[in-house]
Structure 1
């Protein structure tokens, strides 16, 4: 009876170990998936930040050019008035 009990415990222990290995493998796979998604997200975020910076620089440049054109128009208007 003791031998039978011992072999049952050993069988249960082996099943437990196999189940544990399976769960560990699944967890490792999910962890790799999360790492891959994080890397993809970080690349997308960097691209978005770079694009946002480019847009901001373009807006500043456009505003400066707009101010320069307005200045030229004012000078032209003043020149026309005094001619």
Structure 2
């Protein structure tokens, strides 16, 4: 099954996550099909916290991909930012 999930990057104690499309059998930081955006949990007020290509996410969902719980929350946040 294809999943849209987070993969970790960044330095020790400074996490940074890419939002990717991958097969669920791949490792967390393993091979991905497509990178859709990023999530910076420790962003300052001047930096973007979430950047996400919502159109591509909708495309993957229509093709059967499933979102993880955290990505679902981030997708709602990015959709709210885009409509505002």
TM category (shorter chain) comes to under 0.3
Q: TM-score, normalised by structure 1?
A: 0.20
User: Larger radius of gyration, structure 1 or 2?
Assistant: 1
TM-score, length of structure 2 as denominator length: 0.20
- Greater share of helix residues, 1 or 2? 1
Which of the pair is proportionally richer in strand? Answer: 2
